[in-house]
Amino acid sequence: MSSPPPPGPDPADPRPATGPGDGAGPHTPGSGGAADPPTCPRHPDRVSYVSCQRCGRPTCPDCQRPAAVGIQCVDCVKEGARTTPTARTRFGARVADGPPVVTWTILGLCVAVYLGQRLVPGLTRDLSFVGVLAGSEPWRFITSAFVHSPTSLLHILFNMYILYAFGPTLEGALGRVRFLLVYLLSAVGGSIGVLLLSPLEPGWFVQVVGASGAIFGLLLLYVVLLVRQGQVPTALLVMIGINLALPFFVSGIAWEAHIGGAVTGAALGGLLLLTSAPGRDKEAVRRRAMFWPGLVGLAAVLLGLGVFRIVQVLGAGAFTLTG
């Protein structure tokens, strides 16, 4: 005899049927109920329903960064900035690398030194370039780059105007380090011009302020870069003419320093043109990197000329430090 079938639901009973696994029992955490709300990985205590468009993780308001499309988290923004190639000028400087810090620093130093020259007796003597002391006190090649004639307000005003007008443009194109080295090397070239072109007496015994040599180097470098573009503004040529004539009206400024700074600046401009290249490919990077050995070579030429001239005029004893 077969057993009777199990009783089924009563059609007249309005209650739904229940059974194992139908979720009708009491709810316990983690037993298939509602999921936990999304939280920010950096701030787990903050609920966020906004997701990063790049990685898809939740991101709280403090970690959200606006992107071209939607929102990105701060971690993805940092990663993108790290992997994005840096835009550079044809001379290797970062594009839009901030304010011209070097230009303003040089300008501030020149003004501060000029005020010190007016207030502190002997400061001009201690900082200016003197030919007979070039071997024993070589720091004067650099310190003179920030010295102006203390008796002439026109001298510093004219030089600082040129620095203000052309410095930011050159610093933006060359970069901070290149611009600073160009300024200092032009000043050194101006002092070398004094050694090569001035007679022993009185030229080597005169205190020469070297800021004009550096400024003149910047001017000629700028001219060389503009010649490549086929245009040199008339106003720039007028400034160069005034700067050339200034030593004949202001005492303590040597035209020999102007010539030395100009030649050095023009050589630096030529070096920059030879080693410049647009783009980020390997050949462009390699070519721009050649600027540095070229700069070292130019500095070595200036050093060799200076040492040769000092030994020729004063002998090897000129390099003995004074007591």
Residue ranges of the domains in the chain? 49-75, 101-318
Per the residue annotation, which of 149, 198, 212, 276 is the catalytic one?
212
Name the band, by pLDDT with cuts 50, 70 and 90, for residue 6.
Answer: low
What pLDDT digit, counting tens, does each position of 54-95 carry?
Answer: 888 998 988 988 887 788 888 888 877 776 667 777 888 777
Rounded to two decimals, what is the model's pTM?
A: 0.74
Residue 258: active-site member: yes
Name the band, by pLDDT with cuts 50, 70 and 90, for residue 252.
Answer: low
pLDDT at position 85: 63
> Given a cut of 90, is residue 53 above it in pLDDT?
no
CA distance 100 to 98: 7
Length of the chain: 323
> Given a cut of 70, is residue 161 above it in pLDDT?
yes
Residue 276: active-site member: no
Higher model confidence: residue 254 or residue 190?
190
Look at 119-128, 189-198, 225-234 and tell me which has the smallest mean pLDDT: 225-234
